[in-house]
Amino acid sequence: MTLIRSLAPALLAAFTLCALSFGQTSPAEAPAATPAGVTEAVRALQNGDYVTAKKLIDRLLIADQMAATVSLREAGQSMEALEAADQALAVPSLSRAERAKLLEDRGRAAFAAAASDSGRAYLFEEALSNFEEAARTGAGVSAAFRASRAARMIGDHATALDLARAGAGWVQAAEERADGLGLDQLYTRTLAEAAFSSYLAAPRETEKEKAARAALFDETRVALEKTIGLAPTDTWAYRELSNLFLWEGRRQESLKALESALAVQPADEAVHTAFVKALGDDAEATARGNGADDAEALQARFDGIIGRYAAFRQIHPENALGYWYGGFEQFYDALNTFETGEGVATDFADAEALFRRCRELNPGYAGACVDFEVLCRNGQGWCAYQAENNEEAIRLFMSSNELRSLEEAQMSGRAAGMEVRLPRGDGTDRLPSALAGLDFVTRRFLADPNDVEALTRAAAIGDMMFELRPENANLANNAGFLNRDAAVLWERFRATDPDPAKAAAGRARAQELMERSYAAYQVAARLVPDDVRVVNDAGLIMTYYLRTDPEAAEAYLLDSVKDGEPQLADPNLGEAEREALNEAWGDAHQNLGILEMTLRDRPAEAKIWFEKALEIGPPSRNWLRSVLPVLDTWIETGEKPAEIETIEARTVWPHNPPRD
């Protein structure tokens, strides 16, 4: 009574404020009418009838929290729903019916919370306890079915089956009882789940155990078939029936169950996935039974699925999944053949056409389909490479960019066409990307270091790759050295042609290629300004080959010198990394010496750089020791020794334009 007395002033004040406010707002803004229970409770308080007031307040609390339990659970706020249910259950004046309903609703909230978060699996036990108590309190058969599901989730298969059987027995005693149960799923499904779980857990050592397990098989099958009868377009029961048959090794019946599911729901992805596996397993097992080896059994698997889906597309020509699953198996069949060294490009092309048709029918599959279309295109490219048809391989690899450009990839969040690959579990590529394919073709053109045409083609491939990925430092660097090497060959073999016109054309081509090289190296140096080797190479091209801008060359080389020393101090460098970095750093010093000696006629500065380069190493740089005395003579006399021209002829590109 003390609590009610303490609440009385607050309740009266709230009621009074609510009443007074009605006259101060427009009709649209006016609050909803005060619930009758509140009005009666306030009146009872005003009259000093605290017992009646408490009863009325309890009724309000119960109604409010019961409604909140349901609405919160339906909104996905299961933990909050549990709190609301607990508040209502704590009210002593709950009726038996109210308690039964609250317990069942609390169990549903606990079940939902456990199902949505593995960290709350303990709540399945709470759900089971709630449902069982609800059933005892009068909630009815719905609580028994829900208790069965909760028991199954905690691995109590016997209890789950007992509860499901009891509930099903009550429902089946009178046909009309199946209506209005308010269950989350058909009661026959709950029985099927419980029976299937018991079947899977049942021992099968003795004859008695085998017989009991066989009875559970039959019980599960009957429950699943009844579920199909009650919900013929829901594929869950078909898929479970297929699984049930598989556990008994009855592959044909398993397949028939899935075929029935596809007949009623031909666009169900889950059914297709199960069907493909079952179909393939059956074809492979049949082949092995007929004496097939591993390769023959795998081919039988591909043939079985590909053939069945070709027939499916005849019946359902507008069903995108028929093209997806057919294309998937066609691709892997083609890949398997390619890996034997006998790849057939048209097999990949056929798969690509299926994926293309799939996304035409269902644009929602476009991302995944284009991924496989690119792989199919790459497969064709690798087949051409395997057949040593280099130009066709280049064309096919390059065309991957048309399927998904870099810009499209950035918008979609998927890999660009040139970069799509099929990795293995160990990180290696089962089917490398188009970029990797172009790299392999390029290496083939580099087989003969004196083949001008082949090296020029390699440089052109490098340019194409670089143009597609202008912000890729590795591709910029590759384009740089490929064009440089091609330019050197043009100068060596074509610019010396006895025919003056051919010689002039050769020199022009050499100059063009070297300028391409420098442009690519400039981009690479911009993209990786801390890479001592790359930045040095940019300066090297201007120092040894183009020789038109000593200041630009010097800037690159000085950057390399500056960045190399602190990088070499890194204690985490591996031995091979340290050797490569040290050599690049030494090269930058040597190249600055060449720049000072051949472009600026400054022997003293050249000598300083050469001495530092010799100090850095490696031993292959020792030829500079023969240059130092010549520089000393130059420094002492102030006149360039004739030997400098010989040294220059050995070190710089003979194509270099004359200096002022």
The residue type found at 10 is: A
So what's the pLDDT on residue 426?
93
pLDDT at 657 over 60: no
For residues 401-429, give the mean pLDDT. Answer: 94
pLDDT at 627 over 90: yes
Domain ranges of the chain: 318-445
What band does 655 get if pLDDT is binned at 50, 70 and 90?
Answer: low
* Residues contacting 652, CB < 8 A, separation 6+: 543, 544, 545, 547, 594, 598
Give the integer Cα–Cα distance in Å for 648 and 107: 91
CB-based contact 107:143 (threshold 8 Å): yes
Residue 423 phi/psi, 5-degree rounding, is -85, 155
pLDDT at 253 over 50: yes
So what's the pLDDT on residue 181?
78
305 half-sphere exposure, CB direction, 13 A CA radius: 29
Nearest residue to 654 (alpha-carbon basis) of 506, 482, 500 = 506
pLDDT at 396 over 50: yes
Percent over 90 (pLDDT), the chain: 84
| Beta bridge partner(s), residue 429 | 423
For residues 334-357, give the mean pLDDT. Answer: 97
Q: Output the CA angle 189-195-199, nearest 5 degrees.
A: 140
Q: CA 68, 70, 72, 78 torsion: positive or negative? A: positive
pLDDT at 29 over 60: no
Tell how many helices (H) and how many strands (E) occur in the chain. 29, 2
Nearest residue to 268 (alpha-carbon basis) of 319, 204, 198 = 319
Ranges 19-23, 42-46, 150-154, most confident: 150-154
For residues 545-572, give the mean pLDDT. Answer: 97
The residue type found at 237 is: A
Return the exposure string of 531-567: e unless at least 16 CB atoms fall within 10 Å of the residue's CB, then b. bbbbbbbbbbbbbbbbbeebebbbebbebbbebbeeb
The pLDDT tens digits for 150-165 are 999 999 999 999 999 9
pLDDT at 359 over 80: yes
CB-based contact 410:419 (threshold 8 Å): no
What band does 349 get if pLDDT is binned at 50, 70 and 90?
Answer: very high
Give the integer Cα–Cα distance in Å for 14 and 12: 5
Q: Output the CA angle 35-36-37, nearest 5 degrees.
A: 90
Nearest residue to 583 (alpha-carbon basis) of 570, 568, 603, 569 = 568
So what's the pLDDT on residue 277?
96
Percent over 70 (pLDDT), the chain: 93
So what's the pLDDT on residue 25?
39
Tokens matching residue 521:
């190296």
Q: Kindly tell me the burial class for residue 336, based on how many C-beta atoms sit within 10 Å of its own C-beta (0-12, 13-18, 19 or more).
A: middle
| Beta bridge partner(s), residue 422 | 431
| Lowest mean pLDDT, pick from 140-154, 173-187, 202-216 | 173-187
SS3 category, 386: helix
- Name the CA dihedral angle for 102, 104, 108, 111, rounded to a multiple of 10 degrees: 120
The residue type found at 641 is: P
Cis before 658? omega within 30? no
How many other CB atoms are found less than 10 A from the CB of residue 173? Answer: 8
| Beta bridge partner(s), residue 431 | 422
Nearest residue to 160 (alpha-carbon basis) of 133, 192, 208, 122 = 192
pLDDT at 478 over 80: yes
Per 3-state DSSP, what percentage of the chain is helix, strand, and coil (rounded to 5)? 80, 0, 20
The pLDDT tens digits for 261-301 are 999 999 999 999 999 999 999 999 999 999 999 999 999 99
CA distances from 227 to 160, 238, 413 (A): 18, 9, 42
What band does 36 get if pLDDT is binned at 50, 70 and 90?
Answer: low
For residues 485-493, give the mean pLDDT. Answer: 94
Average pLDDT, the chain: 91
The pLDDT tens digits for 313-327 are 999 999 999 999 999
| Beta bridge partner(s), residue 292 | none
Tokens matching residue 408:
């499209």
So what's the pLDDT on residue 658?
41
So what's the pLDDT on residue 61?
83
Give the integer Cα–Cα distance in Å for 505 and 511: 10
What band does 145 get if pLDDT is binned at 50, 70 and 90?
Answer: very high
So what's the pLDDT on residue 87?
92
DSSP string, 497-511: -SSHHHHHHHHHHHH
So what's the pLDDT on residue 42?
76
Which H helix or E strand runs over 423?
Answer: strand 422-423
For residues 479-487, give the mean pLDDT. Answer: 97
So what's the pLDDT on residue 45?
74
Nearest residue to 183 (alpha-carbon basis) of 151, 154, 157, 147 = 147
SS3 category, 343: coil
The pLDDT tens digits for 62-83 are 888 999 999 999 999 999 999 9
So what's the pLDDT on residue 456?
97
Give the integer Cα–Cα distance in Å for 228 and 234: 7
